Chains A and B, each alone.
Chain A
Amino acid sequence: DTEVTQTPKHLVMGMTNKKSLKCEQHMGHRAMYWYKQKAKKPPELMFVYSYEKLSINESVPSRFSPECPNSSLLNLHLHALQPEDSALYLCASSQDAAGWRTEAFFGQGTRLTVV
Chain B
Amino acid sequence: DAKTTQPNSMESNEEEPVHLPCNHSTISGTDYIHWYRQLPSQGPEYVIHGLTSNVNNRMASLAIAEDRKSSTLILHRATLRDAAVYYCILRDYRDKIIFGKGTRLHILP
Contact = CB atoms under 8 A, between A and B. Distances in A.
Check if A and B associate: yes
Interface of A: 4, 31, 33, 42-45, 48, 50, 55-56, 90, 92, 94, 97-109
Interface of B: 32, 34, 36, 42-46, 49, 51, 85, 87, 91-102
A34 to B, nearest CB: 11
Contact of A48 (B34, B43, B95): B95
B95 A106 contact: no
Contacts, number: 60
Nearest to A107: B43
A22 to B, nearest CB: 15
Contacts of A109: 42-43
B interface majority secondary structure: loop
A92 B49 contact: no
Contacts of A106: 36, 43-45
B46 A105 contact: yes
B93 A42 contact: no
